[in-house]
């Protein structure tokens, strides 16, 4: 199956998406096209990286992904293809792909397809589509790109871990305004060791995990580990980000209320 996905910040009101899909089917009538999202905030490569990171593993091997976010080629930003997990990812070298994959998971190639000199501002329509169709049809990546050992790197904020707390950050807010926090279940269990905990969300205190949204009454806070294993904070049939006053990168702190078993009390100095 020739599967090509699209991830962009175009939204659905303009004509860019229709142009790209029409040309894609002209170049490859038997290709299947899947829209990951076109609702990425304009130029927000961190948001695009999060969405791509959470979705690519559901695709079959051989899938080709086009990322049309901040895609213009400049003197400092080249166009690349990343091969990772037997899939291909096409986009600009903005550091986005380094947020999706570990360095040892990816091979990076610089595209060797001539750019369209008449439309340099819309590479997704020309260069990216040509590369995607070539790869989807089974052409070797070395025929359209040259391997490189240098690419831009960006990094996620990491949780700050102490004996009695984990300080994380809101990494993503979905369309329901649920908060996705960069604290995963394994970290929570490793630090918490089964202890009771408290999360203070702008004065709203939560001290237990819920199994799902509807585990709490409508309008109350549900907190659980989602399908990707990350801490999610929601309001049942409500909008957590707006109602709780949270934005991306805001701090979420988990306080564990008991000392781990075997911990010695501090010695008195006087």
At 216-240, the pLDDT tens digits run 999 999 999 999 999 999 999 999 9
Q: Is the pLDDT of residue 96 over 90?
A: yes
- Percent of the chain predicted with pLDDT > 70: 95
pLDDT band at residue 197, thresholds of 50, 70 and 90? very high
> The pTM is what?
0.90
Long-range contacts of 126-130 (CB under 8 A, 24+ apart): 127/79, 128/66, 128/68, 128/71, 128/79, 128/90, 128/91, 129/20, 129/23, 129/24, 129/27, 129/66, 130/27
Name the burial class of residue 91, with classes exposed (0-12), middle (13-18) and buried (19+) by CB atoms within 10 angstroms of its CB.
buried
Q: Is the pLDDT of residue 259 over 90?
A: no
Phi-psi region of 27 (alpha: psi -120 to 50; beta: other; left: phi over 0): alpha
Predicted confidence band of residue 269 (pLDDT cuts 50, 70, 90):
very low
pLDDT value of residue 265? 53
Q: What is the pLDDT of residues 25-56, one digit of tens each?
A: 999 999 999 999 999 999 999 999 999 999 99
| pLDDT band of 268, cuts 50, 70, 90 | very low
Q: What domains does the chain contain, in order, with CATH numbers?
A: 3-148 (3.40.50.10790), 160-256 (2.40.30.90)
What average pLDDT does the structure give for the chain? 93
Q: What is the mean pLDDT of residues 82-106?
A: 97
């Amino acid at each position: 199956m020739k599967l090509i996905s699209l991830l962009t910040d175009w939204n659905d009101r303009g004509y860019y998406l229709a142009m790209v899909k029409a040309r894609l089917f002209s170049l490859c009538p038997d290709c299947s096209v899947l829209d990951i999202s076109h609702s990425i905030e304009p130029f927000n490569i961190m948001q695009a990286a999060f969405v791509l990171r959470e979705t690519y593993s559901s695709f079959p091997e051989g899938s080709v992904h086009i990322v049309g976010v901040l895609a213009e080629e400049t003197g400092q930003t080249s166009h690349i293809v990343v091969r990772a997990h037997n899939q291909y990812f096409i986009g600009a070298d903005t550091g986005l792909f380094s947020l999706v994959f570990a360095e040892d998971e990816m091979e990076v190639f610089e595209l060797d397809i001539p750019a369209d000199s008449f439309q340099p501002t819309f590479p997704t329509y020309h260069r990216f589509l040509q590369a995607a169709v070539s790869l989807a049809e089974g052409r070797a990546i070395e025929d359209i790109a040259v391997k490189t050992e240098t690419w831009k790197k960006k990094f996620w904020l990491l949780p700050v871990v102490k004996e009695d707390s984990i300080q994380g950050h809101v990494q993503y807010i979905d369309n329901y305004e649920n908060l996705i926090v960069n604290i995963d279940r394994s970290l929570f269990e490793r630090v918490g060791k089964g202890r009771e905990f408290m999360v203070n969300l702008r004065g709203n205190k939560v001290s237990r995990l819920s199994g799902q949204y509807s585990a709490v009454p409508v309008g109350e806070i549900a907190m659980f580990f989602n399908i990707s294993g990350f801490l999610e904070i929601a309001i049942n049939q409500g909008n957590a980000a707006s109602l709780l006053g949270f934005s991306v990168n805001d701090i979420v702190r988990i306080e564990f209320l008991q000392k781990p078993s075997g911990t010695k009390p501090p010695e008195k100095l006087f």
